[in-house]
Structure 1
Amino acid sequence: MPTTALVPSSSFSPPLDQTRRGKEKILLEVARRCGCMIHVDSRKMKILTGLGFGGEKGVFTEDAAASDVHVTGWNILGETWPYFRPNFVKMKEIMMERGYTKAVSFVPTGWMYETKKEGFAVRVKDSLKIHLVPYSEHSSYDELREYVKFLHPKQVIPTVGVDGGKLDGKEAIALKKHFAGLVDETANKHEFLSVFHPRSICATLNHEDVLAKCLRDQDGEEFASLPEINNASELSDSSNIKITEEMKKELSDFLPSWVSQDQILGLLMRSGGDVVQSASDFFERERDFFEEANVSNNEMSKSGGIHTSDHGPSADVSSQQEVTLFSEKPMEPSTKLVNLTPVRMNSNLPKKERKRVSSTANKSKKKGRSAASTESGGRKQPTITNYFGRAMAAASKSETANKVTVDPYENIGEKENDTQLTDIVKTHEQGINQLLQIVDGSMSRESAISLLEKTKGDVNVAVDMFYSKIQNNNVPVNDKSIVPQNTQNEIIDKNSNSDIIQSSSQATPKMQNLYVQTSLAQADSMNISLPVEKYLPIEHACWTTGQPAPYLHLARTFDLVEREKGKIKSTAMLCNMFRSLLALSRDDVLPAVYLCTNKISPGHENMELNIGGSLIISALVESLGTSRSKIHEMYKTHGDLGDVAQECRQNQTLLAPPRPLSIRDVYSTLRKLSAISGGGSAGRRKILVLHLIRSCREMEMKFLVRTLARNLRIGAMMKTILPALAHAVVLDGKCAKNTVVSLEGIKSELQGLSSEVTEAYNVIPNMDLLVPSLLREGTTFAASSLAMLPGTPIPPMLARITNGLTQALKLFDGRAFTCEYKYDGQRAQIHRLTGGSVQIFSRQMKDSTSRFPDLVNMIKELCSPEVASFVLDAEVVGIDRNKGNKLMSFQELSSRERGSKHSSITIQNIKVDICVFVFDIMFCNGERLLDYPLRQRRNYIHDYFQEKPGHFELAQQLIVEKNEASVDNSSTLHRMSSFFEKACQSSCEGIMLKTLDVDAGYSASKRCDSWLKVKRDYVEGLGDSLDLVPIGAWYGNGRKAGWYSPFLMACYNPDYEEYQSVCRVMSGFSDEFYKEMKEFYSEERILPKKPVYYKTDELPELWFSAEQVWEIRGADLTLSPVHHAATGIVHPSRGISVRMPRYIRSVPDRSPEDCSTATDVACMFKAQTRKMEVSSDGPASSH
């Protein structure tokens, strides 16, 4: 507190923000120094009374008028975290309410401490002033550490000053470091190991507990150095603790096989018979125990044999443990069988040696000791995950006599010079131990040394060579009778000339090593890349008949397709993938198609996963044992969450192999995720995501996470998937399931069915209808056989651009055509189902019915009773009926409420009226009209629909017959010009020109020359606007400081699934728009680095995720060495850019992938009257 007193007056109020117990003394001192009372509310008065301060007369009062000093509650004067933000509005309210003209406030709290400030901070506004006083009621740093040391807790959890409460964030980790060495780390390890202990072995020990406690606490330390005893039997005899064979056996299952019976007994004695505590004690000083075992082995070797103990339970032959010993030298080729003699290990140490071991006990926890290499007689210490797959019992001598250890590299490059061998061991010591652990004892140490020398220390290559050798020799690597168990570690005696003694333990199911699985699976995973002629659908599949198709089959295919740039090769690999599904799991073909296209349902069903990046990261943190901060750091490096997840999984060791994911599992779970809604939905989604992530193998993690993030990006689009499926159907029907095929003679069928399937999808983009029909009909499938159904939207037909009426008339020379108004509204496809219900779909085939309830009523009112079902193509335009049905702009229509999937807007809430302008019909009363000429289709509209001005109208049109369609006919050109001017005066964008009789069918999903568009702003240059996606921006300068300007715009190339830059745009924006974009492009929408699928040589300061679509117009198009739009289409190395671009409007009814394509940009460039002369040899020139 400052020493100067507060001087109150009738117009002066100093509120004090005071919340915590312990600060009452501040109030007492203020009252004493200022000679005034302190006003508190009734709640605070009760607290003060309870603390013994309420009786202070002349200090505290509940009468606000009795004092000018008022105590306020927490955050009344402003928010304190993460920095102070004053609430002058609230202060002014209090000041005016109590009749003051000035207020001075004090906020005494440790939150106000600022290291960069000299003196206390003050916030001032008008007659309001706030003093920030950094006062802390907490203990000092040393006192806090002393208190934590006294408590000795398991964990310290920071509650303030951490990033959003993240306990694994950088701030939390930094705070925890202050208490390192003061928490009970042993208790945490004990708690971890207790999970694997099924029950408490230690019964009521009574006085034995006391003795065990004394043993543990000798020398004043719970984990003291090894006691000075001659052997375990002496310890057993000197105590009354009962150590049963069951205890020793259970503890033995936890520990490595090299641990002797004496060591096990000693551990149990020191823990009072507690198996879990014994295991914990062992892992605290694992290296010391290992060194003790090695010293014991060396002593036995020097004495010329293996000694046994005559004391205690170890003397019983029935309890003797058989140990596998492998010779240091490679097995001679002539060696077929070996005699196995069960032996017993004794860990008795000479006194001198015991002291040496004991002296190193306290060094076991030093940094870096975990990576230390073992003695030359053994391989690297196995991890804890290997201890749960140990062999449980020994086999008889007769069973083991027929077993031979197979080492495919046992005769590789023997070293003649021991010095040379020693140098190699020193160089590759860590790699040798790692290799021996990975191959699970299937080769000798010398063979490992030779193999690593051959691979120059590369362990991965060595593993691949080892298993390749096994496969070439037809040796089953997973045969338990040949490859010894991982836990039966070889103990090599370099000075012994005895024969090899192999393990006689019974074979038990061992835990799978994911690294080895990956190495063995590499050959299988490459099968998909075989030529179609050589691929065998059954033999090369990774599952068998009757089993569900594994998701691994898709993941391996995705991995190969992603790396393959050629479309032909990608299609062949996808074809192979589908062929195995057709041969073994036909029911999984449909889910596989959806997963390949990163979809879970037809587009018109509006099914979304509703999973954000935050939920995916949270699931990864929980399942992979990593932290959010690490994931964010890795994401900055990789730029892809799937790659980050895959790298984290590769560094993770599992206690058991995951349950395999099937294609059906993944697909059904994704649909369940989409259906989850309501309270607690985030938690339920996370449970399902965790289930998927925890079951991933090999490359599944990478592509599963990409699927969840809706960003598969393997370079395979629908036009690649569908031909691949069609080819697979042909091969499945024409060729035997598991024989090499010849493509000669069936190429025409492959191409024919591919065309039919693609055409069918262009008209009916519903896999639920298409795939079952294709599988049912096989090679006889035809696009026309797939019936159109109202309720399934048809991809709309699109028009090509032209730069004027004269050019359009040239293109339609000699053909009858119609001119129609091009309305400035929203494309709508109107469906009436057989039952009478009406559905409305947008240009992207999304269900928009809930947005237009008035349109639904119009259709029901104005269509003829004779029409049971139909599909109309129309434009919905905003209209002002109070101004003579004046057409409104698209922006005004966009202000209309949108409704949702589950609720429609009400008629009463509609603020913008609409008029529907119909211009085509594709289906009527069960009859498919797509192949009918436009003139005939228009007759259907006239016959079955009644117009109502301002509500439901046919598009305004001007018909030009074929004898009038000539560029030399000035009358026709004049009529068209007048019609065009009238359209522009009616607030339309321009006109559409469509052929009536020749080539006049409705080509769904295609942009054809039979439809042309001419807009009112066409000039001798750029004839049309572009719909582009903002992918980046720079920080603005001058007046635009604090905003983004300019923005980097891009078109989309569907062939390569990439966004290609077109131009920078910095004009046409309002200040309000700048503010909106600054808020919109923030947090997760700002990418840490440039995505690999953004193609540009520009280097903006910020990269954005592809979210919005903007209409951009410019003067003309030009070639650019910086921008990549349409690179390779017009010019081999240069892209196309817009000159003098200007923002027109946002296009909310388009998704980023529906923006202008690279092909659209190229077509616009070629359509310019004045364009650049393209030359690949040098710069282009204009003409």
Structure 2
Amino acid sequence: MIVNIFLQQYIISITKWFVFQVFAKQRATTAKIESVDDIGGWDSLTAEDQDHILSFLPDSNSGARERKQPIKPATTSPSTSKPASSSVGTKIDKDNSLREFRRLCADISNVPGYIDKTNVVKKFITLGSDGVSYNGDLLLLIKLLLPGVVKRIYNLQSKQIVKLFSRLLGADHDEMLESLELGDVAETVRIFFESSQRLSPSNKSCLTIHDVDRFLEHLSKLTREEDQMSHFASIIPKCTGNDLKIIIRLIKHDLRINAGAKHILDAVHPDAYEAFQTSRDINSIIKKIAGNSSSPSKTGTNTIDIGLSLLTPVLPMLAQACKSVEEAMKKCPNGMYSEIKYDGERVQVHKSGKNFKFFSRSLKPVLPHKVKTLEEFIPKAFRHGNDLILDSEILLIDTNSGKPLPFGSLGIHKKNEFKDANVCLFVFDCMFYNGESLLHKPMKERRKIMHANMTEIPNRIVFSEMEEIQKELEKMITKVIRLGLEGLVLKDINGIYEPGKRHWLKVKKDYLFGGSMADSADLVVLGAWYGTGQKGGMMSVFLMGCYDESRNIWCTVTKVHTGHDDETLEKLQTELDMVKISKDSLKVPPWLKCNKTMVPDFVAKDPKEQPVWEIAGAELTKNVVHTADGISVRFPRVTRIRSDKDWKSATSLQELKVLVFYSKNT
């Protein structure tokens, strides 16, 4: 009996040893057991078995059995085995660990809906990593979860990252570039890191989010390749493969979790996202929330009010497509302002005393050459406006005719072509004036404030053309289309300014009557590019073109990436007969006339066997990068697959020229 028990224990011991020996010889790309956190059912094991398993893991896991036990609140009892500071310190370290941040990102990614993603974040910042309470750095956590919103600039594109790591890891550069075609540079770096003969991943994730934040902050200040390499070399030995993967994703401003500011901030506080839309100030929002509550788990009970901040951009109010007069009248029953939609660039103007800042629609600083003259004229137009935030559009105006010049003429080289022209600011809204936020005032009142305090300066600072209408909308739309203007923006006279919301309406000819008024052409699929993000590794951007009969050659017209659903895209991967050329201009076939900037990842094996798609857009326009006599489509989208047509019945170059003529003269 004793012999049998001894033999049984010996067999169990040998089995455990053999299993861990097998794990020790696993390939670099195989997932590893790095700590007891990776072992399911750990708490149900006996103390003896836990100790035996710990002997096979890194020394850093010693004491893991104690750390896995729930952390109890500190008491004043003398029988407490550990000081409160020791327990809390361990807990804070875990909540701030990069490992927990990675797990949180994975959990967010693995749930599909907005509410589910928000709940995952809310659970973590409420209960923490141990399911009891969160004691981590909430501000830093939120900032890292929103790398595309709270941006640092790293001057590192995907191919540059591949170049750096091919040198650091001693990996084949071409092999890494081939892997990159799958669309995820972070995954490429992980794979080659875990199989590198030069550098080995850490056995355990030991970095904190503070370590990563400091690393990224310093990286953002480096521009020389050698300095960047040296900096990466300082953190690589501390990284597991997945640690390095998440760091690269932070650098690329995309964690691949399909969650934006609303998903994350709604988890922190019901008012946080709205406050962010107004102020764009994550630091103030989180600090105010934390100041209103003793812990993040109780942040949802108090309202917060974060106002406008001068010289800090505000999310612009946007417009949604309006497809009929009836729809407009229904959404604005009290009347509306009809405003000309100019073909310029949206600019948010901030003036604080003598200081100016100009932000684009995407909240980036506007290039100085476009707005430098405005600083002279804005104080003259607003003589009593010491502090203000304006919503506006800039265009280049012909000073002889007073007419706006075409879209794109504000470019520094294009601008030099127009000698008798000025940059003109068309003001259409005011969000802030002399210490008072106007966001919650109705449009009618904001407009009165603008007109009472602004004096037009011809060809420099003017009001956007706007009319109050009740039932004359149809006539206004017809007039705008006939004049060749881009369209109209419709605004409820009682509407407040809501940053980031699409509560204005935009009317363009390609929105009306189901898009039947749009400029469109039946074009042939000539090539394709790999997509990015969720579409990485598949063809999702397509090069569309037409046949030039006079020269027996195919010309490019536009790139298109909208109009297909996921199911159709999946089918196209096998239905399109393509040859991979990886953007190599030397491999462009002789039948295709293609500028270097438009060389795709794939070209058609035979253009005459390719499908025909109807491509519609805002207008047929000129774009020098395309070879169909520079004809292109602005805001293109696929409206239908023309299975009833082949290349012979598709739109030819000659027919495309006729379409351009009629679209400009009707």
- TM-score scaled by structure 2? 0.68
Cα distance, 1:1138–1:988 mapped onto 2, change above 3 Å: same
Whether the aligned pair in 2 keeps the contact of 1:824 and 1:987 (CA below 8 Å) is no
Whether the aligned pair in 1 keeps the contact of 2:510 and 2:519 (CA below 8 Å) is no
Q: Give the number of the structure whose alpha-carbon radius of gyration is greater.
A: 1
Whether the aligned pair in 2 keeps the contact of 1:511 and 1:655 (CA below 8 Å) is no
1:801 equivalenced with 2:321 (yes/no): yes
- Write out aligned runs for 1:135-174 (5 A): none
The structure in which a higher percent of residues are strand is 2
Offset, 1:434: 6.6
**Within 2, Cα distance between the matches of 1:597 and 1:1052?**
28
Whether the aligned pair in 1 keeps the contact of 2:408 and 2:414 (CA below 8 Å) is no
Q: Which residue of 2 aligns with 1:642?
A: 186
Q: Which residue of 2 aligns with 1:821?
A: 340
Offset, 1:937: 0.6
Offset, 1:695: 2.2
1:661 equivalenced with 2:207 (yes/no): yes
Offset, 1:666: 1.5
Mark the runs of 5 or more structure 1 residues left unpaired by the alignment.
1-329, 337-405, 413-431, 442-457, 487-509, 525-537, 727-752, 899-906, 966-971, 1065-1073, 1089-1098, 1103-1121, 1124-1136, 1149-1154, 1162-1183
Q: Which residue of 2 aligns with 1:877?
A: 395
**Within 1, Cα distance between the matches of 2:121 and 2:429?**
38
Whether the aligned pair in 2 keeps the contact of 1:600 and 1:671 (CA below 8 Å) is no
The match for 1:991 among 467, 488, 493 is 488
The match for 2:272 among 751, 757, 760 is 757
Cα distance, 1:691–1:927 mapped onto 2, change above 3 Å: same
- Structure 2 counterpart of 1:1022, which letter? G
Offset, 1:610: 0.9
Q: Which residue of 1 aligns with 2:541?
A: 1031
Q: What SS does the corresponding residue of 1:1020 show, helix, strand or coil?
A: helix
Offset, 1:880: 0.8
Cα distance, 1:569–1:805 mapped onto 2, change above 3 Å: closer
Q: Could you give the per-residue CA deviations for residues 784-828 of structure 1, whole angstroms, max 9, x where no partner exists?
A: 611211112121112233345465345434x13222222221111
- Write out aligned runs for 1:1075-1086 (5 A): 1078-1082=595-599
Q: Which residue of 1 aligns with 2:292?
A: 777
Offset, 1:931: 1.2
Whether the aligned pair in 2 keeps the contact of 1:793 and 1:845 (CA below 8 Å) is yes
- Structure 2 counterpart of 1:409, which letter? I
- Structure 2 counterpart of 1:1004, which letter? P
- Write out aligned runs for 1:486-497 (5 A): none
Whether the aligned pair in 1 keeps the contact of 2:98 and 2:205 (CA below 8 Å) is no
Whether the aligned pair in 2 keeps the contact of 1:561 and 1:573 (CA below 8 Å) is yes
Offset, 1:849: 5.6
Q: Which residue of 1 aligns with 2:422?
A: 913
Q: Which residue of 2 aligns with 1:856?
A: 375
- Structure 2 counterpart of 1:590, which letter? L
**Within 2, Cα distance between the matches of 1:465 and 1:831?**
51
Q: What SS does the corresponding residue of 1:787 show, helix, strand or coil?
A: coil
**Within 1, Cα distance between the matches of 2:10 and 2:324?**
80
Q: Could you give the per-residue CA deviations for residues 1079-1132 of structure 1, whole angstroms, max 9, x where no partner exists?
A: 2245xxx569xxxxxxxxxx9789xxxxxxxxxxxxxxxxxxx99xxxxxxxxx
1:930 equivalenced with 2:431 (yes/no): no
The match for 1:475 among 47, 54, 63 is 47
- Write out aligned runs for 1:937-1016 (5 A): 937-960=446-469, 965=470, 972-973=471-472, 976=473, 979-980=476-477, 983=480, 988-997=485-494, 1000-1008=495-503, 1011-1015=504-508
Cα distance, 1:821–1:609 mapped onto 2, change above 3 Å: same
- Write out aligned runs for 1:601-750 (5 A): 601=150, 607-636=152-181, 638-651=182-195, 654=200, 657=203, 660-677=206-223, 681-697=224-240, 699-724=242-267, 726=268
Mark the runs of 5 or more structure 2 residues left unpaired by the alignment.
69-84, 294-298, 521-530, 532-539, 577-590, 625-633, 640-666
- Structure 1 counterpart of 2:291, which letter? R
- Write out aligned runs for 1:556-575 (5 A): 556-575=103-122
Offset, 1:663: 0.8
Cα distance, 1:821–1:644 mapped onto 2, change above 3 Å: closer
Whether the aligned pair in 1 keeps the contact of 2:510 and 2:618 (CA below 8 Å) is no
The match for 2:356 among 835, 838, 846 is 838
Offset, 1:848: 0.8
Whether the aligned pair in 2 keeps the contact of 1:757 and 1:782 (CA below 8 Å) is no
Q: Which residue of 2 aligns with 1:545?
A: 92
**Within 2, Cα distance between the matches of 1:1035 and 1:827?**
31
- Write out aligned runs for 1:104-115 (5 A): none
Q: What SS does the corresponding residue of 1:333 show, helix, strand or coil?
A: helix
Whether the aligned pair in 1 keeps the contact of 2:278 and 2:307 (CA below 8 Å) is no
**Within 1, Cα distance between the matches of 2:40 and 2:301?**
44
Q: Which residue of 2 aligns with 1:790?
A: 310
Whether the aligned pair in 2 keeps the contact of 1:435 and 1:459 (CA below 8 Å) is no
Q: What SS does the corresponding residue of 1:946 show, helix, strand or coil?
A: coil
Offset, 1:548: 8.0
Cα distance, 1:1043–1:612 mapped onto 2, change above 3 Å: farther
**Within 2, Cα distance between the matches of 1:855 and 1:1077?**
40
Q: What SS does the corresponding residue of 2:561 show, helix, strand or coil?
A: strand
Offset, 1:1052: 11
Whether the aligned pair in 2 keeps the contact of 1:824 and 1:889 (CA below 8 Å) is yes
Cα distance, 1:853–1:897 mapped onto 2, change above 3 Å: farther
Whether the aligned pair in 2 keeps the contact of 1:619 and 1:690 (CA below 8 Å) is no
Offset, 1:909: 11
- Structure 1 counterpart of 2:318, which letter? L
Q: What SS does the corresponding residue of 2:408 show, helix, strand or coil?
A: helix
**Within 1, Cα distance between the matches of 2:375 and 2:516?**
36
Cα distance, 1:912–1:467 mapped onto 2, change above 3 Å: same
The match for 2:513 among 1017, 1020, 1032 is 1020
Q: Which residue of 1 aligns with 2:561?
A: 1049
The alignment's C-alpha RMSD in Å is 5.2
- Structure 2 counterpart of 1:596, which letter? L
- Structure 2 counterpart of 1:933, which letter? P
- TM-score scaled by structure 1? 0.41
Offset, 1:856: 1.9
Whether the aligned pair in 1 keeps the contact of 2:350 and 2:356 (CA below 8 Å) is yes
Q: What SS does the corresponding residue of 1:893 show, helix, strand or coil?
A: coil
Paired residues, what number? 553
- Write out aligned runs for 1:434-583 (5 A): 435-437=19-21, 472-475=44-47, 479=51, 543-545=90-92, 549-579=96-126, 580=128, 583=133
Q: What SS does the corresponding residue of 2:513 show, helix, strand or coil?
A: coil
Q: What SS does the corresponding residue of 1:1001 show, helix, strand or coil?
A: coil
Offset, 1:469: 7.5
Offset, 1:577: 3.1
Q: Which residue of 2 aligns with 1:767?
A: 282
Cα distance, 1:657–1:784 mapped onto 2, change above 3 Å: closer
- Structure 2 counterpart of 1:846, which letter? K
| Aligned-residue identity in percent | 19
- Write out aligned runs for 1:394-405 (5 A): none
Whether the aligned pair in 2 keeps the contact of 1:826 and 1:876 (CA below 8 Å) is yes
Q: What SS does the corresponding residue of 1:1004 show, helix, strand or coil?
A: coil
- Write out aligned runs for 1:158-237 (5 A): none
Whether the aligned pair in 2 keeps the contact of 1:1033 and 1:1046 (CA below 8 Å) is yes
Cα distance, 1:1018–1:696 mapped onto 2, change above 3 Å: closer
Whether the aligned pair in 2 keeps the contact of 1:826 and 1:842 (CA below 8 Å) is yes
**Within 2, Cα distance between the matches of 1:817 and 1:583?**
51
Q: Could you give the per-residue CA deviations for residues 605-645 of structure 1, whole angstroms, max 9, x where no partner exists?
A: xx422112233223433444432233234445x54222233
By relative contact order (CA 8 Å, sep 6+), the higher-ranking structure is 2
